[in-house]
Structure 1
Amino acid sequence: MQTAPLIYFSSRSENSHRFVQKLNLEATRISEDETLLATQPFVLLCPTYGGGGAKGAVPKAVIQFLNIPENRQLIRGVIASGNTNFGTAYGLAGDIIAQKCHIPFLYRFELLGTQEDVKRVKTGLSTFWSSLTDQCAMR
């Protein structure tokens, strides 16, 4: 399967899935049932789990996906959802992934995201990919 430049995980709540649908961008979903191999550079979007602690903040399916060296080599940025009730742990999965993979944490949004979040993420992704393309062209 050819992957899209946005790869995401969504739990049974489907919050992340609904957010990705609002973006109206080509996206590939990480499944808990099968292994996904990225085929091109991508930005990862994932929810934060765990209720506020670092342990368990990154969903297991995302950890398994990122444990594949080829997937880690192609990740270029991360977007995370979370719950502001978790205080400093809001969107913590994004902080953890950005640090471990040495990539930028591009955006965080709460639960389903607002229309403003959708607009900012769409615009931000377009700008992000354009800047990466420009950097590659300059080399």
Structure 2
Amino acid sequence: MVYFSSVSENTARFVASCHLEDEGIDVRRIPLRPSDPPLQVRSPFILMVPTYGGGVVKKAVPIQVKKFLNDPDNRAWIRGVIASGNANFGEAFGAAGDIIAAKCHVPYLYRFELMGTPEDTRKVREGVVRFFRERAGTTASA
């Protein structure tokens, strides 16, 4: 799992509540500051991202996520996207996920509002764990 979280830490708290590391899933964070070393990923991952822009779809994907995905080696390993957003933004709710899924040709797996509900946490955890377990089974039998 690769995720981006702003200084609000909402996405970071959501990821932590999923307890993915307890299932043996590596969780990595895209750096917040440009001065931080860039994240390089060389294995399949699901991207979790908040939606920015206050309802303006063109501004939905955080700059740090764009930079991460503009590295062709990172982009080659994305297998799905999960996005958060604010339902008050109407059609722009979770728009970062729509944009990333379309540009990277991956499924938009799930969207949730703000910091998510316990049900969102359960669904994301179960879905991510299932994804990586199935992937391991496919790799093991190939």
For residue 129 of structure 1, report the CA deviation from its aligned partner: 2.2
* 2:90 alignment partner, one of 76, 87, 95: 87
Q: Structure 1 unaligned segments of length 5 or more: list them.
A: 1-5
Partner of 1:121: 124
1:93-127 residue CA offsets vs partner (Å, 9 max, x unmatched): 00000000000111101111111100000111122
* Count of aligned positions: 134
TM-score, normalised on structure 2? 0.88
* 1:36 alignment partner, one of 34, 39, 47: 39
Partner of 2:74: 71
Moved over 4 A (4+): 134-139
TM-score, normalised on structure 1? 0.90
For residue 135 of structure 1, report the CA deviation from its aligned partner: 4.5
> Could you say what the CA RMSD is over the residues aligned between the two structures, in angstroms?
1.4
Partner Cα distance (1:52, 1:132) in 2: 35
Residue 49 of structure 2 aligns to a residue whose secondary structure is strand
Partner Cα distance (1:128, 1:62) in 2: 22
1:51-95 residue CA offsets vs partner (Å, 9 max, x unmatched): 112211000000000000000001111000000001111100000
* 2:49 alignment partner, one of 46, 63, 71: 46
Partner Cα distance (1:99, 1:125) in 2: 20
Q: Structure 2 unaligned segments of length 5 or more: list them.
A: 22-26
AA partner of residue 67 (structure 2): Q
Percent identical residues: 55
Partner Cα distance (2:134, 2:109) in 1: 13
Partner Cα distance (1:41, 1:65) in 2: 14
